[in-house]
Amino acid sequence: MSKRLIYAGIMCCLVVFVAGQVSAADMKIGVMNVQKVLVESVSGKSAKAKFDDKMQELQNKFKTEEDELIAMQKDIEKKSSAWSEETKQTKAREFQKKRRELQDKSEDARFELKTLQDKELAPILKALEGVVTEYGKKNGYTMILDSKSGVVYFSEAVDITDQLVKELDAAMAAK
């Protein structure tokens, strides 16, 4: 919360500074929702589909191992009273080892998904930056802010997210 307040304070100072340079009548501020642009754009939907496919693949891969681990735990709970102390310890170590291996694999999978997400989003975000800059210049905006980065209130009249989705789709289609 404090980061948002600091960011909002910085944005207010920036607006005051820019307002000093440009008269209020000449200011034109736009607000966009970067997350919405990514979710609704064709390239964003494509990146999400790749990410979802990979996530499903990894989940399916781990399902069998998770089921085996659950079965092993139930087996230990059921039969441990009949086992010798040595057998209990051996089974417990075996269970712990398999659980750690699954945790390591899960961590590797999370890293793989994060890498894939970064790889898929990087060119889209770079293109969006260019689109926003070009759109801002072409349409006479003094500044364009992300609505999720500390903007407490804005009129829907200044929300240009939908226009930027169209511009991004056009820019990504041209590549």
- Any idea where the domains of the chain sit in the sequence? 2-173
Q: What is the pLDDT of residues 140-160, one digit of tens each?
A: 888 899 988 877 677 788 889
User: Is the pTM value of this prediction over 0.75?
Assistant: no
* Percent of the chain whose pLDDT exceeds 90: 52
Model confidence over 58-117: pLDDT tens digits? 999 889 889 999 998 998 888 888 888 898 889 889 999 999 999 999 999 999 999 999
Alpha helix (H) residue ranges in 80-157: 85-138
The identity of residue 129, as a single letter, is E
| pLDDT exceeds 60 at position 17 | no
| Nearest alpha-carbon partner for 76 in 99, 60, 59 | 99
